[in-house]
């Protein structure tokens, strides 16, 4: 079956950051040959939907655009780029771009709105009917418009920051709370903890945590002091309230109120460590820190924590668990055998130890469930993708063919589409063999290199972008 690919580069400009999707352009370009082959026919096989701003840059000659010191413009033929204007973005749901993105991610829309926006994109594409869609964001309107198409959601993988290798994933079901992890929660819960899992996860923890992160931690001297002061300690990895991962399900829709709510609900003897999000500016100002210190004895803010790149993974040793929305730190709780509390529907529902903050101290004392190791092993060997396989046409083609067959035969994606690209033991060997011992990484004195860690340090020295 000939693949007809639609690449959706989000035209919505969230939070006033018009360049925030530019690196998606380059990621999509890197995936093109792996998905369609080297000699595909643009006219018959590929279209791109993106903002009119991005298309205008292409019409100006495709000159390279610098974002985070990264040459991110891709060499797409401009005649196959279908643009969406800012007014058309506002008209989707009659809301601003940030709110619209959150509503698509949350399923917070009516059937009439869904059908209207689906028709809008069908008209945009004309006679081109995709059977494969590559996206980096939630696109229920495209799934509705083209129900027979396989929708691959390209996401940052479970591993990204040093000492771990950088990875990505193609999720054929959805993002976050609508991902494959959520859809196949019963299958994941049924995975067996056996000798292979025990050895593989044991090797993973020894390589990355015991032999690498723990000896390199800049925060280890704080452990005894904090453990003596609180009954249990939890990490809150900060997340910006104006991004799509901040659900309408949450009791508070602003992160200051949400963090204050967490402190109040947890109680004075349950310590909460707050960490900065690597998004480009510091949230914890002197004014905010002063308020929380005065009002909540369980507020823990470690001075200059943000100067250590990916600081949360070192703070894990100090904590009993993580309170999470959609941060990748939720997966890191599995690495460290830490408890996990989730406060909204998310990809972590299946591994969560609770959804309330009233009994955190009791949850911290519960024994580790070894079945979670079986789920982690599957995630690392079946779901996560190392760069050498992402660029492999044979791997991508086989995976996409399985997804297309599942849609044709079953009308939906089934669990068996996920297979390890090589023997699962070899995947784990590859992962630990890529351990980066050059840690910790320090940030600059200002935040010029903080925007998502300079796009994960230029995607880990251009492993994916070159």
Decide: helix, strand or coil at residue 200: helix
Q: In the predicted model, what is the mean pLDDT of residues 278-289?
A: 82
Look at the block and give the residue holding tokens 């298309």: 55
Q: From the CB of residue 110, how many other CB atoms can be counted at a distance below 10 Å?
A: 9
Residue 354's SS3 state is: strand
Neighbour-count burial for 190-206, b at 16+ CB within 10 Å, e otherwise: ebebeeebeebbeebbe
Please report, for residues 34, 369, 422, the alpha-carbon distance to residue 464 in angstroms, rounded to integers and kept in the order given: 12, 35, 20
For 9-23, 293-307, 419-433, which range has the lowest pLDDT when averaged over its residues?
A: 9-23
Q: What is the band of 448 on the pLDDT scale with cuts at 50, 70, 90?
A: very low
pTM value is: 0.90
Report pLDDT for 464.
Answer: 43
Q: Is a pLDDT exceeding 80 seen at residue 96?
A: yes
Report the SS3 class of residue 44: helix
pLDDT at residue 280, rounded to an integer: 59
First and final C-alpha spacing in the chain = 30
C-alpha dihedral sign at 245, 249, 253, 259: negative
> What is the pLDDT averaged over residues 310-327?
92
**Shortest CA distance to 413 belongs to which of 395, 424, 396, 401?**
401
Cα(145)–Cα(149) distance, integer angstroms: 9
**Cβ(363)–Cβ(389) below 8 Å:** no
pLDDT one-digit tens code per residue, 174-193: 988 889 999 999 999 999 99
The predicted pLDDT at position 73 comes to 52
Q: Is 31 helix (H, G, I), strand (E, B) or coil?
A: helix
Nearest Cα neighbor of 158 from 32, 292, 333 is 333
Which whole number is the average pLDDT over 225-244? 85
User: Interior CA angle at 253 toward 252 and 256, to 5°?
Assistant: 75
Alpha helices per DSSP H over 192-254: 195-205, 214-216, 223-229
Query: Would you state the pLDDT for residue 54?
Result: 83
Q: Is 127 exposed, middle or buried (0-12, 13-18, 19+ CB in 10 A)?
A: exposed
Examine the pLDDT at 325 and tell me if it is beyond 90. no
- What pLDDT was estimated at residue 444? 58
CATH T-level topology, domain 217-369: Rossmann fold (3.40.50)
- CB-side neighbour CA atoms (13 Å) of 434: 19
Token code pair at residue 154: 């390209």
pLDDT tens track for 33-91: 888 888 899 999 999 999 998 887 765 544 444 444 445 555 678 789 999 999 999 99
CB atoms within 10 A of CB 323: 25
* Domain boundaries, given as residue ranges, for the chain: 5-183+384-462, 217-369
């Amino acid at each position: 079956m000939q693949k007809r690919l639609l690449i959706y580069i989000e035209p919505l400009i969230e939070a006033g950051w018009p360049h925030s999707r530019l690196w998606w352009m380059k990621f999509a370009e890197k995936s093109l040959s792996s998905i369609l082959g080297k000699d595909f026919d643009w006219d018959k096989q590929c279209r791109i939907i993106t903002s009119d701003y991005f298309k205008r840059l292409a019409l100006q000659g495709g000159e390279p655009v610098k974002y985070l010191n990264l040459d991110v413009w891709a060499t797409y033929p401009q005649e196959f780029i279908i643009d969406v204007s800012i007014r058309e973005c506002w008209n989707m749901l009659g809301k601003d771009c940030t709110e619209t993105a959150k509503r698509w991610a949350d399923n917070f829309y009516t059937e009439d709105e869904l059908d209207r926006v689906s028709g809008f994109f069908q008209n945009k594409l004309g006679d081109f009917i995709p059977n494969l869609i590559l996206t980096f964001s939630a696109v229920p309107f495209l799934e509705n418009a083209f129900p027979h198409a396989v929708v691959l959601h390209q996401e940052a993988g479970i591993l990204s920051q040093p000492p771990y290798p950088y990875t990505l994933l193609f999720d054929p079901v959805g993002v976050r709370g609508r991902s494959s992890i959520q859809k196949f929660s019963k299958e994941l819960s049924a995975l067996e903890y056996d000798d292979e899992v025990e050895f593989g996860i044991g090797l993973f923890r020894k390589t990355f945590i015991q032999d690498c992160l723990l000896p390199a931690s800049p925060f280890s001297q704080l452990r005894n002091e904090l453990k003596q002061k609180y009954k249990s300690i939890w990490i809150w990895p900060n997340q910006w309230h104006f991004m799509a991962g901040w659900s309408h399900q949450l009791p508070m829709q602003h992160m200051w109120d949400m963090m204050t709510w967490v402190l109040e609900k947890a109680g004075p003897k349950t310590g909460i460590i707050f960490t900065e999000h690597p998004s480009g500016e510091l949230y914890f100002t002197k004014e905010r820190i002063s308020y929380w210190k005065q009002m909540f004895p369980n507020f823990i803010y470690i001075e200059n924590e943000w100067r250590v790149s990916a600081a949360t993974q070192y703070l894990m040793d100090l904590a009993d668990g993580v309170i999470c929305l959609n941060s990748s730190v939720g997966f890191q709780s599995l690495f460290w055998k830490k408890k996990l509390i989730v406060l909204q529907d998310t990809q972590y529902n299946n591994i969560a130890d609770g959804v309330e903050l009233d009994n955190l101290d009791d949850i911290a004392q519960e024994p580790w469930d070894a079945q979670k190791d079986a789920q982690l092993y599957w995630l690392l060997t079946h779901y996560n993708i190392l760069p050498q396989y992402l660029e492999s046409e044979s791997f991508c083609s086989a995976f996409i063919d399985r997804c297309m067959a599942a849609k044709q035969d079953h009308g939906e994606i089934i669990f068996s589409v996920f297979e390890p690209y090589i023997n699962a033991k070899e995947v784990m060997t590859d992962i630990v063999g890529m351990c980066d011992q050059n840690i910790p990484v320090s940030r600059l004195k200002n935040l010029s290199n903080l925007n998502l860690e300079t796009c994960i340090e230029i995607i880990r020295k251009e492993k994916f972008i070159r």
